[in-house]
Amino acid sequence: MIVCCLDMEGVLTPEIWIEVAEKTKIKELRLTTRDLPDYDALMRRRLKILRENGIKLKDIRRVIAKMEPLPGARKFLDALRARQEVIVLSDTYYEFAMPLMEKLGRPALFCNWLSTDQKGFIARYHLRQKNGKEAAVRALKNIGFKVKAAGDSYNDLAMLEAADGGVLFRPPAKIARAFPRFKVTKNYPALLKALI
């Protein structure tokens, strides 16, 4: 049996931090794992910027509540789930992702979580596990599943490497050039074909 593991942001939904940057007009929040491969450094930077600008978790959740999945994502996901098991593996947080997961038909999601201080600022982020995407793929393979995976950013590369078949979906050109061993897809019909 095949299990498909999909990244969330950039594959099924827009990048949450870019949406927050647009709404708050804070350019520095536009950086994602498409730009910086060091996730810890990126998150520490984000949390510092949020605090300096008085942005609390509830403010971010208001932005997310107005977001929609990428056009065609729900149809793609429904078609894929009709053929195979699907797990969304993301570096986002349950506090961010759940409204978008509702709009995608509540696929299984493995991600991280946040804690806030008494004022409502994000105080810490908690990783489910270091290299969680890769670890999930390896665990699925260890219990007898064949795993295919799709992602778009630096933080997806270990997951794609660990999978039996890794696919890049609309990656930045620099990532596609640096990792030619992964098939590149630019639309959902091509991604569906690559994963089934």
Residue 7 is among the residues annotated as catalytic for this protein: yes
In the predicted model, what is the mean pLDDT of residues 162-177? Answer: 96
Q: Which domains does the chain have, with CATH numbers?
A: 2-13+69-112+128-195 (3.40.50.1000), 17-65 (3.90.1470.10)
Tokens of 177: 């050039």
In the 8-state DSSP scheme, what is residue 27?
Answer: G
CA angle 101, 192, 20 (to 5 degrees): 35
In the predicted model, what is the mean pLDDT of residues 93-110? Answer: 97
d(C-alpha 63, C-alpha 182), whole Å: 33
Mean pLDDT of the chain: 95
**Residue 34 — pLDDT band, cuts 50, 70, 90?**
confident
**7, 19, 95, 156: which one is catalytic?**
7
**9, 95, 134, 156: which one is catalytic?**
9
In the predicted model, what is the mean pLDDT of residues 80-91? Answer: 97
Distance, CA of 51 to chain centre: 23
In the predicted structure, residue 128 carries a pLDDT above the cut 90: no
Give the pLDDT score at 13. Answer: 98
